[in-house]
Every structure is written in structure tokens, then in C-alpha cells.
Chains A and B, each alone.
Chain A
């Protein structure tokens, strides 16, 4: 027989919308997001907390969603890559990734951007050292990381200018 684990109802706020979902409490949050909410922007590269492709922001912190059990996500507030651009306008981090060429195959990109967002939310002008540390849980096989560091630096500037009400300039 094929055992179906007992399901529980959880409620979470994802990208500003509240969802009630029936989940297997032990299944990973990444599966709930991808398979049940069909938010497939969150990628799974290893399922074991070793690559960061599945990074989302949960209650303000960057987490590997493949390691969070669905049951533990009950009552939480989650931001995924789909929640960054608002009314068709890219978030400055997204814009910086595009302009600097910080992505190639793009499979690590959603996770990278979410880790960068968690960093810049708490530390708007990080040093290169701090950028490297904050992204050290995210693997990228394509870029060699150089342009990702550039992108986060530029995003930090763009966000700074934004909060100072100055117009956002492209790249630099």
C-alpha cells in the first residue's frame, strides 16, 4: 500500500496574500510553494540545504525552503522571488542582476536574489566581505560569482538613492 501521510491545514502569508493549504506537515516548504501554490520561481538544486537555490525570505530571514518543514511554516510570512517586482517594475536587486550580467543559466538566480534581499534589508550598504558572507550558502556554477558581487553592490546603491528620493539610474 502507498501510505499517504496525515495532512494538516496551515495558513501562511506568501507575497502579501494569505493562503490556507492542506499539507503533509513533514513535506518541505519548497514543495508546498512549487507544487501546491505553483510558485515555481523557487528552485530546488539539492533538497538538502547545500545549494541555496530554494532560498526564500521567511519572517524577515533568508532560509533554505527545502529544509523548512511545511508544518513549521504555519503562521509565517514568506516572500519568494515572485513577490519582488511590483506592478511590473523590477526590484532594484533584480534590475542590478540584469544590468550587470549576474546571471547565466538563471537557476541559482532566484535564491541569490532572495539572499541578497535579506542582506540589504538588514544592512543597506554592505562591504564586499559582508556580501560574500551573506551569499556563501548560495552556489552558482555559471558566473564565477564576480558579477553577482557587482550586482549586489550596485543594488545597494540603487536602493540608497531610492530611499533618498533620487531617480534610479541604470547600472553604473
Chain B
């Protein structure tokens, strides 16, 4: 029986339910000491002096480091930060110094003994303010605080707008949102000159290694990164929040002992790399029959104090979402703007949820304006299979239409659905939103997009997979195991996927851009195919028959012609090992994407396959309390062939619940002094088990020719359209629209007073 399309538990399940899975903070090395970080209390200040003498002389303290020990500048997109601040601090939480001591209590006492003199500077917190001529500069080298400006046109937007019967426009605001992974960022650094070993769960260990080397003045091969189990990442652990491993490394280099740093939840929220708040000014031009013509957009993106990966996120945000429709022209600008707040970074969706909030709100506004059903207007304009979009995306497969029809059908057929009209205080509404996501993105790593896998058949017939693509908790290792098992013809429980370790794993670009199934999966498919072919050709010799008549099932090579001819793969593997004097059956393969993008105009087919989805949300809005509840979400997705339905469903359920949080409650709130006001799970409200909606899911299966077994991706797309769908549903319920996320109760009450729609 084929494993593809069956629900399989993840391979590491047993370790996770028994408490045996090892996460970074569980690691303890001989002689290890504890590191703690001293952070800036000011949003913007000059560091006048740092006196560490008292801390250094304390018993139990092994090392103290400051900006003076951190002389190399680094950065994923733009080199604009040091492992510890030098000269200036740029946000509340900026890392100023660190200590390593025998215990946490001792490290805290030592931090308190460090004296830092600051001279405060005027600060700026809102990107629109920051772009003004007279605004304080976060980085002197970036006038008007603009770290990057992107600007492009396709087609003739002026002509398209002139031709339009209707134009709708809006200014859409989103907030900084926290990834909320349950495991705070941590690292253990062990400096044994000339080599540094880092135990830290990074979504992108090899890319991070390049940056870590740069930031420490080491050469890459001096650094070994071992990834323990990752307690959730969602983009927050891609490669940008390297401060923790870097500071642990500096401490270890200074005291010659292993050093562990585990952030507190407050620190993780204050100094993580959350999703950026954005402002999207956008207008959409259409004909009165509903045909979309063109779109103009200006994105202002809150970079925070340092750039990290945000330039890539912003570029993707400027392009991706609108490929779901057949626009003829567009004009887009985007500004990446420094502010004196937490540096921002990638979070599930890579800018797409914010872009879709604006786009899908505009589409609903357009549908209202011309009096056309929101689903109809979408059906009229959506992209289809075979399209080459305005931005150069090529759709080999596209189930958007089927997704849209499916959510409508699910809702209409739902017998349990409340159809009663609203009470006077509780209004019901429905909202829809579509989405697109890539499976790997050519934009995110300059030189290439590809992946390498090594597959080895052990002499007992078990299979070991080596891949450089890290599992961040979403289950990619299990997908790789499933693919290897299917291709070779062994049981799923016979495959092991090796922990990512830069000492032995092949190079991997990393786990983001929903790329692992497509890139890592294809590499494993190819390498496993070579192992299978090798096993069969060896078996043909051993069984004295033709390779063409052989196949492998359940770990046994069998003949289709003569059932008496069969041999266990373990026997073949052993025989090869002995015959070759010690060489395993070991094959490797590289899979690469012949995708392309122009880094300036952002035009090009960035991915080998695009997944699509539609979500239809029901909301109940209490106009007196302002509370919004989402009782139901209908979701239909084209993710290509569904490899593991249970895993895919889990991704969707989790993403949708995160999306509702972003729509309704989640916001990192900064005070007037730039300090984060809600750095804990009590005040930063993520969805709880009592809040969750019923989610109904349907998969529209397409067969993506580039994907392993026809599969595309799912991880990020699950969340992309949810905030937009909820916002559209609230607008539908109230007859008045929110232009700001999250949609908070006070705002709902105001909207309800203004809008007067009853059903």
C-alpha cells in the first residue's frame, strides 16, 4: 500500500509524549555556566561608559562582555548590527553587556553590578513619523530612516486607472505580532579553540552559520551548529535572532567554558524578531462589471531597530499576494523604515497576511460598491492554471476556483450552521479571503534555491536520511521520512532522519518560504531513488534475474515473474558492505529550482509551485461589549497532492487559530517611552483552547508536476488569509469596516455606532 496520502504520526512522536525529546534548554555540558544579558532601558541613547569592574570581581562570575568585545558588524539583509551594542542603543531591550556565572541568581546579581552611563537621545516609534525630514535618525547612514526603498511598475497603471469605472481605496494598518512559539530562544555555546560548537535550534542553521562567522570574526568551518528539537519557530527562529547564540559564544570564548543562555519570556518578546507592523495605502481600479484593472500600493514597513531578514519579507509582501488576481497593471512602492522599537522579522506568511488584509478588504469594498457578491467578484478575477501573472509567476496548477466554490458549498451545506438573524446586540457576519503561497522562494537566498540529501541503507535494512533542512516542529522530518520510505519500499518506521548538525548534514538553505517539502522532499526523493535502484541492481545479481522484473515492498526485493525469487534489503546491504570492504549503500542527490527573480524589479517566477486557499469565516460581533467571536471557519486548500492528511490538517488548524489571534487580539503594544507594555502571555492574548472555532477543511488535490508526488506546500498559507477573512466578516456583520488589526473591542463599539446595518 502506498504511504503517500496516508495519515502518519510524526516520527519523533514517541520522544515528545514521553518527555525524552531534547530541546536546547535541556542540554547541560560539563563545566557549563549560565549567561544573562543586560539590556537597554532606553529606546535611543548614547552609551557614554560601561563599567564592568564590580561585576568581574564577583565570586562565581566567569566572564563579562560588552560592545568592546563585539567588533564585527553583521546582518542577514543589511549589515547594521553588532552582537552587543556599540556606541548607541536603539530600542528598549537592545543588548548592552552580558555575564556568565555559576548560577542564574549569580548572573543576575552580576548584571546589577554593571554600571552603564547613557545620554538619552530623541526617539521615534512610528514609521510614518520616522520618514519625516526632521525625525531623529536610528542609523545615521540611513536618511529619513529608510533602510530600503522598493519601487516598480508593471503594465500601464495610469492608463488602467483612467479606464476604470470605479476606484476603491484605503489605508490599512497592522501591528507588531509575536510568533508565540512556546519554547523561548536559547543556545549553548562551547568554545574549544579554534572551534565553536553551538547547540541551538535554528530554522536555517547553514545560513546562520555564515552570519555567525561574520559576527564573530571566525571562518565558517570553525563553527559547528547542532540543532536540538525546536519548540516552535514560525519564522521567529529563521536566522535573524542570532543575538542569543552570538552572545553565548562571546562569553564562552572569554571564559573557556560552555555557556547556556535561555531567554525569559519577557526578553523573548521584548527582543525577539516579531512580525512587523505595516501601513498599506492601496487603491484598486475596476470596471463596473467587476473586472479588475490595476492596483496602486505603497507599503510602509516598520523595520524596528535592525533589519535582519525584514528586507526580504518586505519585498515578498510587495509582490506575492496580488498574484491571485488577473491584474493588468500595478504601481508599487515600499519603504523599510527604522524605528526605535524591537527589530522585526519573518513570521508565518512572510508579509502575506498584511498584504492580503489590504487586498481582500479592497476587493470586498469593490464588491459592495458595484453591488456584486464577494464570491462572484472573486470568481470573475482569479488566476487560473496556465497563467503567467503580472509579476511573472507561472501557475502549473491552480485550484483557486475550486477552493472558492468549495468553501461556499461547505457553508451552504452546513446543517448545524446558525442562520437565525442577529439579535439586537449580537450581529452575525461572513467574510471570505483567498491566498497564495510559494513552495520555496527564489527571492530569499541570493545564489540559488536548492537542497541536497544523502540517503544511506544500513546493514540491517534501516534507512538513514541526511538533510540540511531543519524541522521546526511542523513535521518536515516526517515528510522526508515518508518520501524515503515510499520511494525505496520500506516501512515508515524503518526510516530515521538525522538531527541537523553542520558537521554531517549536507548544506541546507533552511526552513522558511514553505520550501522543505518541495526542495528537501525532492532531494530526498532523488537520493532515495538511487538507493532503490542500487538495491535492485545488486539484487538482480544475487537472484540471478533481470533488474526490470524486481520491485521492493516492505523491505523485501521481489520478482514479479518468479515469486520464489526474493531477498531482504538488509541482506543486500550487508553483502555490499562486505564486498566493498566497508562502503554502505549511500547515495546523494541535489535538487535545484530553475526559478528566477530580478532583485530590483522583483519580477520573475520565484517558485516551482504555488499553493492556494480560500477561507470563509463566520463571526458573531457583540456590539455592546465589542467582543468578536469566530464560531466557524471553512477552509479549502490546493496544496497539490496531500502527502499526510493528518499533518496537513494540523498545519491548517494551527495556522487558522494563529490568524484569528492576529485579527482580533494579538498586538505587541509599545508605550510612549518605547517600552513593550505586554511582554507576557497574560497581557499578550493568544488564542486559548476555549476560544477556538470549529474548522472544516477540504483539500482540492492538484498534481504539481514539480512537487514530490505532486505535492506543494502548506505551512504558511494556512494563516495567510485568516485575518483578512475575519476583517471582512466583521465588516459584513457591522456594515462598517475596520482598517486596523487587531480589531479591538473599543474599535468594534465605535464601528457599530457608526454603521447601521441590520439583518
| A interface residues, Cβ below 8 angstroms from B | 1-5, 34-35, 38-48, 50-51, 53, 80-82, 84-85, 90, 94, 97-101, 103-110, 113, 132-133, 135-136, 138-149
Contacts and interface: CB of A to CB of B under 8 A. Distances in A.
Contacts of A40: 19, 22-23, 25-26
A142 B652 CA distance: 10
Contacts of A97: 13, 17
Nearest to B231: A107
Contacts of A139: 182, 681, 686, 688
A140 B9 CA distance: 18
B681 A50 contact: yes
B102 A141 contact: no
Contact of A106 (B184, B473, B653): B473
B654 A141 contact: yes
Contact of A94 (B17, B26, B649, B656): B17
Given A43-B183, A45-B183, A105-B231, A141 B658 contact: yes
Nearest to B651: A104
- The SS class assigned to the B binding surface is loop
Contacts of A145: 653, 657, 687, 689, 692
A109 to B, nearest CB: 5
7 contacts: A53-B182, A101-B9, A139-B182, A141-B179, A141-B180, A141-B234, A144-B692
B330 interface: no
Given A2-B102, A80-B19, A143 B650 contact: yes
Given A41-B19, A45-B184, A141-B180, A103 B109 contact: no
B653 to A, nearest CB: 3
Contacts of A41: 18-20
A28 to B, nearest CB: 11
A147 to B, nearest CB: 6
Nearest to A44: B25
Contact of B695 (A90, A135, A140, A146): A146
A94 B15 CA distance: 10
Contact of B229 (A80, A99, A106): A106
A141 B690 contact: no
A93 B687 CA distance: 23
Interface stretch (B56-64, B134-142, B574-582, B592-600): B56-64
Nearest to B650: A101
Nearest to A5: B105
Interface centre among A41, A101, A103 (most CB of B within 10 A): A101
Nearest to A27: B105
Given A2-B58, A2-B105, A105-B232, A43 B182 contact: yes
B472 interface: yes
Interface of B: 7, 9-10, 12-23, 25-26, 28, 58-61, 101-103, 105-106, 109-110, 179-184, 229-234, 264-265, 472-475, 646-647, 649-650, 652-658, 680-682, 686-690, 692, 695
A106 B109 contact: no
Given A48-B680, A104-B654, A146 B692 contact: yes
Given A38-B28, A142-B473, A148-B689, 19 more contacts: A2-B58, A2-B60, A4-B106, A40-B23, A41-B18, A46-B681, A53-B182, A98-B14, A104-B232, A104-B475, A104-B650, A105-B230, A107-B183, A109-B17, A136-B690, A141-B232, A142-B654, A145-B692, A149-B689
B181 A141 contact: yes
Given A98-B13, A103-B10, A110-B19, A144 B59 contact: no
A141 B109 contact: no
- The SS class assigned to the A binding surface is loop
B692 A105 contact: no
Contacts of A99: 9
A76 to B, nearest CB: 19
A135 B19 contact: no
A85 to B, nearest CB: 5
Interface centre among A39, A140, A142, A148 (most CB of B within 10 A): A142
Contacts of A45: 182-184, 231, 265
Contacts of B16: 103, 106, 109
Contacts of B59: 1-2
B756 to A, nearest CB: 35
A105 B680 contact: no
B14 A42 contact: no
A132 B9 CA distance: 23
Contact of A43 (B12, B23, B475): B23
A101 to B, nearest CB: 4
A94 B692 contact: no
Contact of A3 (B105, B180, B652): B105
A139 B655 CA distance: 15
A97 B22 CA distance: 18
Contacts of A108: 182
A84 B19 CA distance: 10
A90 B103 CA distance: 36
A142 B232 CA distance: 7
A105 B182 contact: yes
